[in-house]
Structure 1
Amino acid sequence: MSTIKPFKIAIPDEDIQKLNQKISETRFPGGGPNGWERGTPIQDIKRLSKYWQESFSWRSFEERLNQLPNFETTISVDGFDPIQVHFIHQQSSASDAIPLLFVHGWPGGFHEVTKCLPFFAESERNGGPAFHVVAPSLPNFGFSSRVESPGFDARQYAETCHKLMLALGYEKYACQGGDWGSLICRVIGITYPKSLLAVHINMVSANPPPPSSPFSYLRYLVTDFLQWYTPEEQLGIKGLQHYQRHGSGYFHIQQQSPNTIGVALADSPVGLLAWIYDKLVNWTDEYPWTDDEVCAWISLYWFSRAGPAASVTIYHEVLEGTGPKGFGIACPNVKMGFSYFPKEIANTPRFWNRRLGDVVFEREHEKGGHFAAWEQPEALVDDLRVMFGPNGSVRKL
């Protein structure tokens, strides 16, 4: 515990000035259609860039972030240099509060939990269940440090998160994740099953049953041939197919050439804005993004401790590494809960998903997308309250 200390975000004035200068020197491409058929509309990026430079106040946003319980500590990961890990830690006053590890992905961050924190606190005031919420910046993200050595895959991300919870005194805890967080949480469950109460994920992706499971495989073949899918499953399959055909180019670039795209992201704030804004819009369920929200989100990447390009290396290290890499990996020895949001980029049929582990909670939502904690924070927290509540199926501490 002696290595855990309060953390204050304090970006130097000269870094803010350099950012504004770089924005002002941006060379935009030509016009063309102002729709999304060719990617992020240039006119939108011009408007946002102008707002970012002339109207957005990093200092105001920084002040709001510093009002949260920010901390950092040093985590030793086997085979790698020690990592400085930044995290939010909202503790409950309840003696039976459930430690909850909140794991983000790309292009998300620790800040996604900030919309959930008031609802977690409200749960405690209303009689629970209460939660100790721990939301780290993953290594290479946010205000955690960069991993210089290659080979830092899903196992090391899981090890980092697990050791953080142990450092906080939480030998038994639950975890929640979306995007890469959904994979990391499952790897934690596979690697440290005795430490986990349960895993809850909001990006639920599974592989179809294989021929080695004859009954499930036959059910899959019949269901798929006759298209006996629920309306929610049909919507999910359609969305996944659209993503694979029209929205997964970034995935392959970041997997195969993180250094190539990294040069552009590290040097051009407007390039970073265009690259991530595309996902913020296309992966959400008509969420009404304000210019201030977008600029705050992108600024966290620009001012990250590891640099704007470090985050994309997770695609190469995990997918090209030797550790678990499929988003459909099972977590057989831990209870699991699923929250389904209709505009999630990967929503596979429910009977596929139930093969991922001991599924004790599922809920369908009418609205929401990939960034559930940001788009639908109350709904996500309520799912956790039900899953871990007195009528839920998760054993207590």
Structure 2
Amino acid sequence: MVDSKVAKPFTIDIPNERLDLLKQKLNLATFPDTILTNANDWSHGPPLPVMRHLVEYWRNGFDWKAAEARLNLLPQYIIPIDIDGFDPLNVHYLHVNKGAKNAIPLLMVHGWPGSFFEFTKIFGPLTNGDGDEPTFEIVVPSLIEYVVQGGDWGMIIAHIMANTYYPEHVKAVHTNNSDKCDPPSFFENPVFWLQNQLRRPYTAAERAGIDRTQKFMSEGYGYNLMHKHRPQTVGYSIMDSPIGLLGWIVDKLQDWTDKYTFMHAFWYFVRFDGLIY
């Protein structure tokens, strides 16, 4: 059990020397030569014109102190969690509680490359119930220190809590993705494959979904394998290079979101160990 008395309020306060170092690294940025200059061609990753534009904005347009002030309007806390065989892990989280009677506890867990910030737009509707609608008390932990990135952490953690550790306390689970489910294979399960073939042909929407999944597994899954098997290899470059981290994350924001505003990408570069990239 966690003693609630050890939770401490937290304020983001990035030292100016860290900001100066970031500015220096951005000013010294070296971009690769490339023949792929079409800003709409993401087939090999973030196009050079997009990266140049984002770096220029980061260097001369993005106001971290304004972003920091906005983030600090949120009720943030740090709490140490004891883990068997390891030192206590300091976990950062948001706790949004309007004091409503009979508010339902709601745990919101982000994935990679997300952060607690992505949930803030819906805090108002979830915590301002008028009596006819449910009201929630919200907790959003920050999942920053990834060891293995598989599937997506938010979905995995939610299912483990509901099915394994706390089924008696979890009333419902909602996720925005699920484990990949391939069509039945003749070689792996011939009976199921035959039943599926005889049932009916795939609809256009089902076929499009299968094709999209297969395309992702063949062209968009490399990051996952790198995170699983060689996390330190990529970790050195994205820890030292703000542009390396920018390219690594923006590639997924482009691929996984609808009409994403890339200037919001900088909200994801918050680290609570004194870094902002």
Q: Is the 8 A contact 1:98 1:132 kept in 2?
A: yes
Structure whose residues are more often strand by fraction? 1
Residues 234 and 306 (structure 1), Cα distance of their counterparts in 2 relative to 1, 3 Å cut: farther
Within the alignment, does 1:238 sit opposite 2:238 as a pair? no
Within the alignment, does 1:305 sit opposite 2:263 as a pair? no
Percent identity reads 37
Match of 2:156 among 180, 183, 204: 183
The corresponding residue for 1:9 is 12
TM-score (norm. length: structure 1)? 0.61
**Corresponding letter in the other structure for 1:86:** H
Residues 2 and 224 (structure 1), Cα distance of their counterparts in 2 relative to 1, 3 Å cut: farther
SS for the counterpart of 1:125 is coil
Match of 1:83 among 84, 89, 93: 89
Give 1:210 deviation, angstroms.
8.7
**Corresponding letter in the other structure for 1:305:** D
SS for the counterpart of 2:171 is strand
Within the alignment, does 1:41 sit opposite 2:47 as a pair? yes
Give 1:79 deviation, angstroms.
2.1
The corresponding residue for 2:261 is 289
Q: Is the 8 A contact 2:155 2:178 kept in 1?
A: yes
Give 1:26 deviation, angstroms.
1.0
Match of 2:133 among 128, 144, 147: 128
Residues 265 and 90 (structure 1), Cα distance of their counterparts in 2 relative to 1, 3 Å cut: same
**Corresponding letter in the other structure for 1:274:** G
Residues 284 and 233 (structure 1), Cα distance of their counterparts in 2 relative to 1, 3 Å cut: same
Give 1:304 deviation, angstroms.
4.1
**Corresponding letter in the other structure for 2:94:** I
TM-score (norm. length: structure 2)? 0.86
**Corresponding letter in the other structure for 2:17:** E
Within 5 Å, give how 1:1-397 maps onto structure 2. 1-33=4-36, 34=38, 35-122=41-128, 124-125=129-130, 127-138=132-143, 140=145, 179-189=152-162, 190-205=164-179, 207=181, 218=191, 221-224=194-197, 228-285=201-258, 287-291=259-263, 293-297=264-268, 299-300=269-270, 303-305=271-273
Larger Rg, first or second structure (1 or 2): 2
Residues 198 and 288 (structure 1), Cα distance of their counterparts in 2 relative to 1, 3 Å cut: closer
Give 1:289 deviation, angstroms.
0.8
Residues 121 and 194 (structure 1), Cα distance of their counterparts in 2 relative to 1, 3 Å cut: closer
SS for the counterpart of 1:104 is coil
SS for the counterpart of 1:135 is strand
Structure 1: which 5+ runs fail to align? 142-151, 155-177, 310-397
Aligned Cα RMSD in Å? 2.7
**Corresponding letter in the other structure for 2:28:** E
Deviates more, 1:264-273 or 1:69-78: 69-78
Q: Is the 8 A contact 1:83 1:139 kept in 2?
A: no
CA deviation string 1:160-214 (max 9, x = no partner): xxxxxxxxxxxxxxxxxx9311111111121222222222211122546999xxx
